[in-house]
Amino acid sequence: MYNLLKGKKGIIFGALDESSIAWKTAERVHEEGGVFVLTNAPASIRLGNITALAEKTNSQVIPADATSVADLENLVEQAMVILGGKIDFVLHSIGMSVNVRKGNHYTNQNYEFTEKGWNVSAVSFHKVMQVLYKKDAMNEWGSIVALSYMAAQRVFPDYNDMADNKAFLESIARSFGYFFGRDKKVRVNTISQSPTETRAGTGVKGFGGFIAFADKMSPLGNATAEDCANYAITLFSDLTKKVTLQNLLHDGGFSNMGVSQEVMEMFE
């Protein structure tokens, strides 16, 4: 390990179980010397195994609904008390589509479900940053990262309304990132990750074929949850102090491919 995060303090949203990117990131932050609080919605905490992660990383869990400003205010205030000061890094690893869960096609959405998914997956990122900004809770040269996906720019039919949510998420990162950078010297970025075998990812229709296709298209193959955690560590560190307002493609090269020989061979 490199001690890249020694002395740094943060908040990690969304760790659910051992397959989640937030979980892997928490483990890597701990290995690199960082300290943090873990948070998730109360229902997700009950469904997952976050207490085991907290014990492993010597961290505390603060339940919070990321769509509730009151919950987020309490989270940030408690985190600064527990950690003994302002925050250096935040990971937003939250996404949910009720339409996907209920099997509603993109052309036949339940709009109440659409709004809930939009609020959880994208607007929550604005709420997190607004609370941090108003409370002046971030140290200068801190780093805020959210997880996105290529469907924000390209059509993946079964990704459904999550594609719209990710596009909105990336726009929020740029727009709020400008003010956070100008006023607080804090950077804000999104990571556009390969399809990854998390609990949320595998809920997408046809995910097995989806991940296999991406792997054959990418010259380096799909980036794993562990790979993404390593990338997030670099963005939390002081090595990337001038990287902000970026949607950073972390996908083994998939995003620049037209077609690969491996995929062509399937049709020849």
Residues 252-264: tens digit of each pLDDT:
999 999 999 999 9
Identify the active-site residue in 2, 111, 133, 159.
159
Residue 268 has a pLDDT of 85
- What is residue 1's predicted lDDT score, i.e. its pLDDT? 83
Among 232, 134, 146, 236, smallest CA distance to 184 is for 134
**pLDDT at residue 206 is higher than 90:** no
d(CA 144, CA 87): 10
On whether residue 4 sits in a domain, the answer given is no
Overall average pLDDT of the 24-36 stretch: 98
Rounded distance, CA 187 to CA 241, Å? 7
Sorting pLDDT into bands at 50, 70 and 90, what band is 99?
A: very high
In a domain, 155, yes or no: yes
DSSP conformation class of 213: H
Domains identified in the chain, total number:
1
Mean pLDDT, residues 157-180: 97
Question: Which among 106, 111, 149, 231 is annotated as catalytic?
Answer: 149
Judge whether residue 199 has pLDDT over 70: no
In this model, does residue 122 exceed pLDDT 80? Answer: yes
Question: Can you say whether residue 136 is alpha, beta or left, with left for phi > 0 and alpha for psi between -120 and 50 degrees?
Answer: left
- What is the rounded distance in angstroms from the CA atom of residue 15 to the CA atom of residue 92? 10
Closest CA to 121 of 100, 94, 141: 94
- CA-based nearest residue to 17, from 93, 78, 72: 93
Percent of the chain with pLDDT over 70: 97
What mean pLDDT is predicted for residues 58-66? 98
Q: Which residues of 192-208 are buried (b: 16+ CB within 10 A; e: fewer)?
A: bbbbbebebbeebeebe
What is the per-residue pLDDT for 255?
Answer: 96
**Residue 65 Cα to chain centre, angstroms:** 15
d(CA 126, CA 59): 25
Q: Which pLDDT band, with edges at 50, 70 and 90, does 210 fall under?
A: confident
The residue range of the domain holding 246 is 9-265
Q: Where are the alpha helices (DSSP H) in the chain?
A: 21-31, 42-47, 50-57, 69-83, 98-102, 111-118, 124-134, 162-184, 207-217, 225-236, 261-265
Whole-number pLDDT of residue 202? 60
Residue 49: inside a domain: yes
Q: Is position 166 annotated in a ligand binding site?
A: yes
Paired tokens of 104: 């509603």
For the residues 133-161, what does the mean pLDDT come to?
Answer: 96
Q: What pLDDT, on a 0 to 100 scale, did the predictor assign at position 207?
A: 74
235 domain-assigned: yes
What is the per-residue pLDDT for 152? 97
- pLDDT given for residue 125 in this prediction: 98
| pLDDT recorded at residue 201 | 58
Poorest-pLDDT segment among 143-147, 154-158, 226-230: 154-158
143 among annotated binding-site residues = no
Over residues 131-149, mean pLDDT: 98
Q: Reply yes or no on whether 178 is catalytic.
A: no
20 is in an annotated binding site: yes
pTM listed for this prediction: 0.96
The answer to whether residue 149 is catalytic is yes
For residue 175, being part of any structural domain is answered with yes
What is the residue-averaged pLDDT of the chain? 95
- The CATH code of the domain that includes 131 is 3.40.50.720
Q: For a pLDDT cut of 90, what percent of the chain falls above it?
A: 91
Alpha carbon distance 112, 128 (integer Å): 22
